[in-house]
Amino acid sequence: MSYRMVIIRVGDSSIGRDFRSTFFDSGSHSRESHSRFGRRDCFSLVSRRRRRGRRGGRVRFTSLERLYERLGRRKSVDESTDEEDEEDPTPGCLKVEDVDFKILKNTNKHETDEYSITSKVNDENEKQIPKLVLRRGFSFTVVIRFNRPYNAQTDRVSLQFAFGERPKLVKGSLVRLELTDTFKDGQWAAVLKNSKDSEITVEVHTPPNNYVGVWRMRVNIKIDEKKIVYTEPYEFYMLFNPFHKRDEVYMADEAERKEYVMRESGKIYVGTSHQIFGKTWNFRQFSDDVLECVLYLLEESELPLHARRNPVLVTRKLTALINSSDDNGVLTGNWSGVYTGGKSPLAWTGSAAIFQEYFKTKRPVKFGQCWVFSGVLTTGIYCCGPCPVKAIKTGDTTALYDAPFIFAEVNADKISWILMPDGNYKSYIQSGEIGKNISTKAVLKNDRNDVTCEYKCAEGSAAERAAVLRAVNTAAIRTDAYKQGPQDMKFEIDVDFDAMFGSDVLVKLKMENTSNEVRHVGGSISAVSVFYTGVKAKDINKSKINCTVQPKSNGVAELLLTFNDYYKTMVDHCGIHLTAVTFVSETMQYCVLEEDFRLRKPDVTLKTPVKVSKLRPFDVEVSFTNPLKVALTNCILTVEGPGLQRPQTHPQCDVKPNETFHTTLKLTPIRVGTRSVCVGFTSEQLAGLEQESEIEVTE
């Protein structure tokens, strides 16, 4: 056995990184569809976090490691108390000459053939070494070629699988399989399917609760009772399996599997309950670097071994790691409206570019906001869910995970507290304002699917009220919050939700007197620009209310918002928040009404062919009309499409007021199937314009 001595200065993070990438390398693979063993010049994805601390690069050693340090050597990643040492082959004995992992056959069976890393070319149509991606619970085929014919009676061949830095037999992270002719469902097994000349075909069975991440396989040949020869390790990826009935993530509906597992693009619904927009997002889970980046994050997470089987714990950990606030994660959040040194969150149209930049630099990508976090992996900075939907629907806020937070998002009463002249507070309650039109993309359609009924019973029904009261009884809330006085005046904010950015907007407060007496109404109407989170940006306009409403009659108060009023106050999403505060002199009835809306942005026209051929360029035409009275400057056009090529960014000329922008781009498809082309346009004055189109790519 050869030894290598590495001197490392404790506490130096850069040296720690060099040590990790230099010392722990793994077997390289040939450029054919199978892989050969014997070389050690390919970087291993497996993390070595135990040798470099989470913060500041501090190196930690066990007592055994300190012993090896004094002896001038380190144990290799595949060495442990449960794994044998490598010996030189005895002349004339059985030797492994080649291992073929049948990547094409296995990935087709495991529904992983769309991953670009399993192909001989990447998304740029450049040659690469294909890697094996598997789903736990499914068997896979391995063909092993020896230097002579295999003799089942005398040759003692086994397969060894290792997971993690310190694989152990007792923990199931180290598995040794003798060749056999039988297997038990749900357990590890290596079944000898065929032996011909110097080749054997082995079918490897894996359990549906297997560890998820990077595995290593070796072929062991036992020479005698004291000597074992084994090959260099081959890394492959093991994923959760929504196609296997015994996996916790199993999805029974085939259409849902196609939508939620295999489809590379979707929609993230944003806006208000009156203005729902389906924002196209290219998830591109099969693209270059994406799977490797996610597995890298998982390896870096220091998640306990037992948790690597559990989809709930894995999901929650990755949720935290996606945000730079947690462990130097993927994205840096920015809600300021100023994106110097990075990219506006509205400029992103998919996840691939974000993952690829992070995987290349290992530094947080700038910048993201909630829907970007959602598109990349989850709903943001807060490690939320997965919580049982039934618990949310019934108001059981004692359930795991984060039930109170989720319930408040989808089914809560809105309570405004008004400071009275005498120093006391008066409450104003609005039911039915929270959790309107909860939306997701329809399965295998581009339509919106309203799933509100999955999270809450019909608004105002006895069951819905019971759920709210159940949640209230377990929360810290003032007992007098639901006490209300006379409510004989009704108020409603009316605004044109289809108003275009660039036009004037008239806001009306409608009043109805249901009593038999005159009512005098005072108060104010105000408008402010807001970020999509609802946080105020700048004041726009405000007017006072002083209105007399006759018995059984209606009244109205108005607020005009001109383009000059709001233009310089606008932030990313053109959001405006309206607030009407009213009080009735005769009854001391107080009311606080709020309404959010967004000024509509111009539609983008996208023209593409219906069908295109693989590796043949085609034209993409993009156009829209600038609705503003000012020119658009610092214009950027982005275009991407899963299976077409990597995301592209194209600077554009200024667009004059009321001018029609038009440009033509070229894309080259590299994979067959139904693909989506997505374009996005941003500028200093107008951002977040986008459109998509589906095309069919044929050979």
In the annotated binding site, the residues are 411, 413, 459, 464
Token pair listed for 416: 């405004």
- Where would I find the H helices in 100-207? 103-109
Per-residue pLDDT, averaged over 70-87, amounts to: 43
Per-residue pLDDT, averaged over 610-622, amounts to: 93
**DSSP reduced 3-state for 443:** coil
Contacts of 406 (CB under 8 A, 6+ apart): 384, 385, 387, 392
Instruction: Using the predicted structure, report yes or no on whether residue 25 has a pLDDT greater than 50.
Output: no
User: What is the C-alpha separation between 619 and 262, in angstroms, rounded?
Assistant: 26
Token pair listed for 129: 């070494």
Which residue has better confidence, 679 or 229? 679
Domains of the chain: 96-239 (2.60.40.10), 254-386 (3.90.260.10), 486-601 (2.60.40.10), 605-697 (2.60.40.10)
Contacts of 16 (CB under 8 A, 6+ apart): 8, 51, 52, 57, 59
Read off the amino acid at residue 586. E
Task: Please state which of the ranges 57-66, 124-133, 277-286, 681-690 shows the lowest mean pLDDT.
Answer: 57-66
Mean pLDDT (the chain, rounded): 83
Token pair listed for 292: 């490797």
pLDDT for the residue numbered 19: 28
User: What is the C-alpha separation between 647 and 668, in angstroms, rounded?
Assistant: 12
Per-residue pLDDT, averaged over 516-529, amounts to: 96
Instruction: Using the predicted structure, report yes or no on whether residue 556 has a pLDDT greater than 80.
Output: yes
Instruction: Tell me the whole-structure pTM to 2 decimals.
Output: 0.79
Band (257; pLDDT cuts 50, 70, 90): very high
Instruction: Using the predicted structure, report yes or no on whether residue 87 has a pLDDT greater than 80.
Output: no
pLDDT for the residue numbered 91: 66
Band (527; pLDDT cuts 50, 70, 90): very high
Q: What is the 3-state secondary structure (H, E, C) of 237-267?
A: EEECCCCCCCCCCCCCCHHHHHHHHHCCEEE
Per-residue pLDDT, averaged over 11-23, amounts to: 30
- Element at 163 (helix H, strand E): strand 157-163
Task: Please state which of the ranges 182-186, 249-253, 369-373, 602-606 shows the lowest mean pLDDT.
Answer: 369-373
The upper half-sphere exposure of residue 40, i.e. CA atoms within 13 Å in the direction of its Cβ, equals: 11
Name the residue with tokens 């939907």.
389
Task: Please state which of the ranges 52-66, 567-581, 642-656 shows the lowest mean pLDDT.
Answer: 52-66
Read off the amino acid at residue 656. K
Instruction: Using the predicted structure, report yes or no on whether residue 3 has a pLDDT greater than 80.
Output: no
pLDDT for the residue numbered 412: 83
Q: What is the DSSP letter of 275?
A: S
User: What is the C-alpha separation between 684 and 150, in angstroms, rounded?
Assistant: 70
In the annotated binding site for Ca(2+), the residues are 411, 413, 459, 464
Instruction: Using the predicted structure, report yes or no on whether residue 578 has a pLDDT greater than 60.
Output: yes
Residue from 112, 137, 139 nearest 204 by CA: 139
